[in-house]
Amino acid sequence: MSDKAYKRGLRRRRATFDADGEGWLVTYADAITLLLAFFVMILSVSDLNQGKIEALKEGLASIISGKQAETPFNDIKDALNDIVAQHDMQDNVTVDIDMKGVRVEFSNFSLYQSGSAAIKPEALPMLAEVSKVIKDTSSATHLIEIEGHTDDVPISTERFPSNWELSASRASNVVKYLMGKGVNKERLKASGYADSRPKAKLEEGQAFTEEDRAANRRVVIYVRRF
């Protein structure tokens, strides 16, 4: 086949392809591929904030399909905030979304007596509702991680030789409670940090105030992806 004949055939095939109305698919596919590559690049060089990822997912789904995307972390957050409001515990329990996922922070006052790892009886009704939301709303792909934190005041008892044992026991008791409410144990994790990760930050040479220490005593429940 001559070079001229080959070019004429190529032009005919291109014309037929465009005439069928499918030529735009190539441009569209290229644009989507570039868009996805761009977001993969952005995520690979930045901290993975689960809230932002869900917002991005929702926006992309709306643009591409015109449908509302499922955003389970936001749904969990809204449901937990409703529980906190119903029990009037806004001053002692906070719910937000950070880089790990949904974060529920309980002040030490809301769950435990000083120096104890036993959950207060008055905290059980709200914790039961929190457990139900976690069990019913989160999925099998979500890890439930409980962190126990204390202040820097030393403890030395037969049961708790140090704050490490106290913080670990507090986190473990919440895990056991969630298991008792039907949360699968394979999805649960307990971590005790003692006073190694204080919420209140100090400048060099400063000491924690009683208000700082109260903020540092806390239990955090994370719902995040494995």
Over residues 177-202, the pLDDT tens digits come to 999 999 999 999 999 999 999 998 88
Indicate if the pLDDT at residue 70 is higher than 60.
Answer: no
| More confidently predicted of 9 and 172 | 172
| More confidently predicted of 17 and 71 | 71
| More confidently predicted of 25 and 202 | 202
Confidence band for 206, pLDDT divided at 50, 70 and 90: confident
pLDDT at 44: 54
pLDDT at 32: 80
Q: Are 120 and 148 in contact (CB under 8 A)?
A: no
How far is residue 212's CA from residue 226's CA, in Å, rounded to a whole number?
32
E strand spans, 125-187? 142-149
- The torsion of the CA quartet 38, 43, 45, 47, rounded to 10 degrees, works out to 160
Q: What is the pTM of this model?
A: 0.70
Assigned token pair, 88: 């009037």
The whole-chain average pLDDT of the chain stands at 82
pLDDT at 1: 55
Indicate if the pLDDT at residue 25 is higher than 70.
Answer: no
Indicate if the pLDDT at residue 20 is higher than 70.
Answer: no
How far is residue 163's CA from residue 115's CA, in Å, rounded to a whole number?
9
Assigned token pair, 81: 């905030």
The stretch 212-224 carries a mean pLDDT of: 94
What residues contact residue 108 under an 8 Å CB cut-off, 6+ apart?
114, 150, 214, 217, 218, 219
Give the count of beta carbons closer than 10 Å to the beta carbon of residue 4: 8
Q: Among residues 88, 117, 122, which one has the least CA distance to residue 192?
A: 117
Q: Among residues 46, 100, 40, which one has the least CA distance to residue 76?
A: 100
Q: Where are the domains of the chain?
A: 3-65, 72-225
Q: What is the CATH number of domain 72-225?
A: 3.30.1330.60
pLDDT at 67: 57
- Give 66's Cβ-side CA count (13 Å radius): 0
Q: Are 195 and 163 in contact (CB under 8 A)?
A: yes
pLDDT at 174: 97
Confidence band for 54, pLDDT divided at 50, 70 and 90: low
Q: Are 131 and 137 in contact (CB under 8 A)?
A: no
The pair phi, psi for residue 84, each rounded to 5°, is -60, -40
Indicate if the pLDDT at residue 144 is higher than 90.
Answer: yes
How far is residue 110's CA from residue 129's CA, in Å, rounded to a whole number?
15
Over residues 39-53, the pLDDT tens digits come to 666 655 454 555 555
